[in-house]
Amino acid sequence: MRKTLAAVAAFSAVCSLVPSAQASGLLTARFGGEAGTPLTSNPTALYWNPAGMGASRGTHLYVDGLFAYRSFSYEHAKDPDEPAGSNGEVNQGTSSFGIFLAAPTLGVTTQLDLGNGPRAAALVLGAGLFAPFGGSAKIERESKGDPLYPGAIDGPGRWQNIEGETIGLYLSSGAAIDLPLAGDSADFAKRLRIGLSFSGVRTSVRTIRAKTGSFNADPAYEGRSILDVSGWHGAIGTGVQLQLGAFTLATSYQSQPGFGEQRLNGTAVNAFSQTDLQKKPSTSVDLIQTLPDVMRFGVGWRASERVELRLFGDYTRWSVFKTQCVVREGEPCNLDLDTGAAKPGPSSPITADMRRWKDAFGLRAGGSYFLDGEGRRELMFGLGWDGNAVPDSTLDSGEFDGDDLTAAVGTRLRISDSLYLGGTYTFYYTLPRDNTGKSIYTTLQSPSRAPDAGGKYTQNVHFLNVNLELVL
Amino acid sequence: MTWRRNQLLGLASLAATSALGCIDPDARFDQFKDDCSSSDAGICKVRAALKCEAGATFPTAEQANGRYILAITTNLTPNAPMVLSVDFTATETADGLHISATGSTLAYWDRTTPVGESNSVIVQFDVPSSGEYAIHVPADPPIPADANPLIAAPVSADTTLSGTLCVYGNDVEYTSGIVSGEMFAPIKGNIDGEFGLHRADFESPTYSPSDDVLVGPDRRKTDIPPKR
């Protein structure tokens, strides 16, 4: 088991993940491309909807590579929190980056007969590795530094993020049962599929950003703050598919990692002085946060031998993501969520990022056109909308989200008797956001106080999924 | 999964890493440190204690005696100092002065109201005839929360104030220096900064909390934060 966990850790070292903010918030699941839905029956169903595995027959081995290019910009005007007398211009301007990212997915399912005949009940077992949560950002250094304020070379967004990534990696196993209902026949399928999955979730956060000991944006006293934490937690997924002839109805539920509040352990470096810059002192800390659970649904209609239509969506309970609280190892997060101040007590958080996210909803419509009647050549298309989880008040360049419009085209080709090659290109366009004057960070009390994050944000992302599926 | 496959998977991952925009916070930290080393501003600069200039002399015990306002700014509160009133009682020794300092912390919001226990600041130190001194201020007793301009929590820090004591006229009027040490509460970490020691009596009607609280060799005035 330890070797497997080590492999998972190494696997996550591929500098994933998909950019933040796709499919709302940090939920970045795009594996499977246009076929990655709660209606799917390929091994990614283990994450999307474990019941979907029940529709597969034989043994399936699945490898998916998700490649993305994310471009992002943040334009910041004068910071109202700027201390008098300091050079506020170094906090103005634009932070931007373009970054290539990759995330792999592995999956396998195998079917066990529970009876005789082609329409007998079946049990399908599956295992897989998925990366549904996460985001990466790497702000470009400006071409010319300021001799008085050397930190300003990392751009005006450096107070929220200079480089950072959040990764949620799922090592999953599960089972689905496929049951014939009364009246099930070759002419009119009536099947009920129920699935359940268990996952070990490795969540990790690594970031560096500018910070001062006063939690403000004074460039004369800015230092650097590194956070590097990770942890393993459990999660479950469950789902149902009901097939009635040409229609398939599906719903699934993916629990919160850790079933609620999670504590990630690691180290923090807070260097706000010349001494600390040289010594780089490391403190053992915990990051305490709560990630959401996700509910998904979908409807599929095989309109004809050559046409299939799909409508599916998700509801993600991001409202539980209230803060990211960094405390000394083992201590609680004694934080007043209204003011951001530390509550009276023997311990106080080292720092806290106020999030106050809101639940988010996404909806996609898509379809497939089969160029032949045997399913050897399939064309896929899709359009979608992913709702925004981050309010203007806590929007920043470190954890960005917005309303996204998506368009996808893809294909799945049977290149031999047992091997399928698939690919999907998806374009994400995030509607520009402007929260100038709306950021609350400077109104919060320490340790939640932070420099103003108001400004204009733009983002778009190109995704390319390439996958191979071996059917035995 | 075999051990060999695990290793191959790891190597494949690392190979992919090199081709992509990977995240490396430590490298970015080192870049900042390098940039900082060529700058002379903010936390990058190496602060200098006030050196005695031409015409200065080493003070007598009588010239050093009296009441001062001690203002300490650190990297955590660069523009809002902790302010103390200290009374120096000096005795002359074979090689300089031996000074006993007693005093009280003052409220951060008016720099006039004593907070905490009276005479809670008691330190003794020697100043050789070169004038260079180092005052060790232990972490206990802590600075009370009402003297902490940053957050409503007591400050416990083991600090050293380093400077040079000299006199240009009748009495010691002002000295400054650098602060270094380690903070234990409310957060842990190294601290550094500056201090100023200005002859002023917070109980005098002529005392000005904005003009008499000075920091650093340039006698910098600082912000008076509003009361929380």
ipTM entry: 0.86
The interface residues of chain B toward chain A in range 12-31, judged by CB-CB distance below 8 A, are 12-14, 16-17, 19-26, 28-29, 31
The interface residues of chain A toward chain B in range 285-324, judged by CB-CB distance below 8 A, are none
Tens of pLDDT, residues B136-153: 888 888 889 999 988 888
Reference A301, options A311, A288, A292; nearest CA is A311
**Residues of chain A predicted below pLDDT 70:** 1-28, 79-88, 214, 274-275
Whether residue B10 and residue A7 make contact (CB cut-off 8 A), yes or no, is yes
- Degrees (nearest 5) of the Cα angle A398, B15, A268? 35
One-letter amino acid at A437 equals: G
Task: Tell me the C-alpha distance between B225 and A141, whole Å.
Answer: 34
Task: Tell me the C-alpha distance between B105 and B83, whole Å.
Answer: 6
The interface residues of chain B toward chain A in range 209-228, judged by CB-CB distance below 8 A, are 223
Q: What is the pLDDT of residue A136?
A: 82
Tens of pLDDT, residues A43-90: 999 999 999 999 999 999 999 998 888 899 999 987 665 544 445 577
In terms of DSSP H, where are the helices of A316-435?
A: none
Q: What is the pLDDT of residue A5?
A: 41
B80 neighbourhood in chain A, CB within 8 Å: 214
Determine the distance in angstroms separating the CA of A166 from the nearest CA of chain B, rounded to an integer. 10
Helix, coil or strand: residue B47:
coil
Q: What is the pLDDT of residue B43?
A: 66
Task: Tell me the C-alpha distance between A412 and B7, whole Å.
Answer: 31
The interface residues of chain A toward chain B in range 365-404, judged by CB-CB distance below 8 A, are none
Determine the distance in angstroms separating the CA of B37 from the nearest CA of chain A, rounded to an integer. 9
Reference A405, options A379, A443, A431; nearest CA is A431
More confident site: B75 or B95? B95
Determine the distance in angstroms separating the CA of A80 from the nearest CA of chain B, rounded to an integer. 17
> Which of B3, B14, B29 to probe the A interface (max A CBs under 10 A)?
B29
Q: What is the pLDDT of residue A293?
A: 95
Picking from A7, A281, A342, the nearest residue to B9 by CB comes out as: A7
Helix, coil or strand: residue B1:
coil
Picking from A3, A219, A271, the nearest residue to B1 by CB comes out as: A3
> Which of A1, A272, A331 to probe the B interface (max B CBs under 10 A)?
A272
B186 neighbourhood in chain A, CB within 8 Å: 342, 348
Q: Mean per-residue pLDDT for B7-11?
A: 42
Q: What is the pLDDT of residue A6?
A: 40
What would you report as the CA-atom Rg of chain A, rounded to the nearest whole angstrom? 24
Helix, coil or strand: residue A291:
coil
Whether residue B78 and residue A150 make contact (CB cut-off 8 A), yes or no, is no
Please name every residue paired with A384 in a beta bridge, in sequence order, or none if there are none: A364, A406
Reference A27, options A335, A346, A388, A333; nearest CA is A388
Q: What is the pLDDT of residue A87?
A: 52
Cβ neighbourhood burial of B43 (10 Å; 0-12, 13-18, 19+): buried
Please name every residue paired with A266 in a beta bridge, in sequence order, or none if there are none: A229, A285
The residue of chain B nearest to residue A341, with distances taken between CA atoms, is: B151
User: Do the Cβ atoms of A365 and A383 come closer than 8 Å?
Assistant: yes
One-letter amino acid at A447 equals: P
Instruction: Please give the backbone phi and psi of residue A297, each rounded to the nearest 5 degrees, phi first.
Output: -150, 160
More confident site: B166 or B69? B69
Q: What is the pLDDT of residue B12?
A: 40
Q: What is the pLDDT of residue A275?
A: 67
What would you report as the CA-atom Rg of chain B, rounded to the nearest whole angstrom? 23
Picking from A4, A208, A350, the nearest residue to B187 by CB comes out as: A350
The Cα-based distances of A288 to A291, A399, B142 in angstroms read 10, 16, 29
pTM of the predicted structure, to 2 decimals = 0.76
Q: Does A69 touch chain B (CB under 8 A)?
A: no
